[in-house]
Amino acid sequence: MLFNTHCATCHGRTGDLGMNGAKDLVTSTIPRDEAIAVITSGRAGMMAYGTMLSKKEIAAVTDHVLTLRTKSAR
């Protein structure tokens, strides 16, 4: 799965690892389009995935990131 391969090193599989200054994705509140922008273009300590992943893959990984939030809200 894309998230576990590319993102979990910093964010952790549950999104709240916070390695290398990574934002906690469980408590993150930015809207979906902003999350896509961060993932595509990078921001501060996070690299850009726009050249590594297709638009479709970025959309899929973003949907996964949003499910990490829902779990914590339950």
For 23-51, letters b (16+ CB in 10 Å) and e give bbbbebeeeeeebbebbeeeeeebeebee
Site size toward ligand HEC (CB under 6 A) is 21
Residues 2-41 that bind ligand HEC (CB under 6 A): 6-7, 9-11, 20-23, 28, 30, 35, 38-39
The enclosing H or E element of 57 equals helix 55-73
Q: How far is the CB of 4 from ligand HEC (least distance, A)?
A: 10
Q: Quick one: which of 53, 24, 12 has its CA closest to 36?
A: 53
- Residue 74 is encoded by which pair of tokens? 């339950």
Applying CB under 6 A, does 68 fall inside the site for ligand HEC? no
Q: Which of 45, 48, 66, 71 binds ligand HEC (CB under 6 A)?
A: 45
The contact set with ligand HEC (CB under 6 A) reads 6-7, 9-11, 20-23, 28, 30, 35, 38-39, 43-46, 49, 61, 65
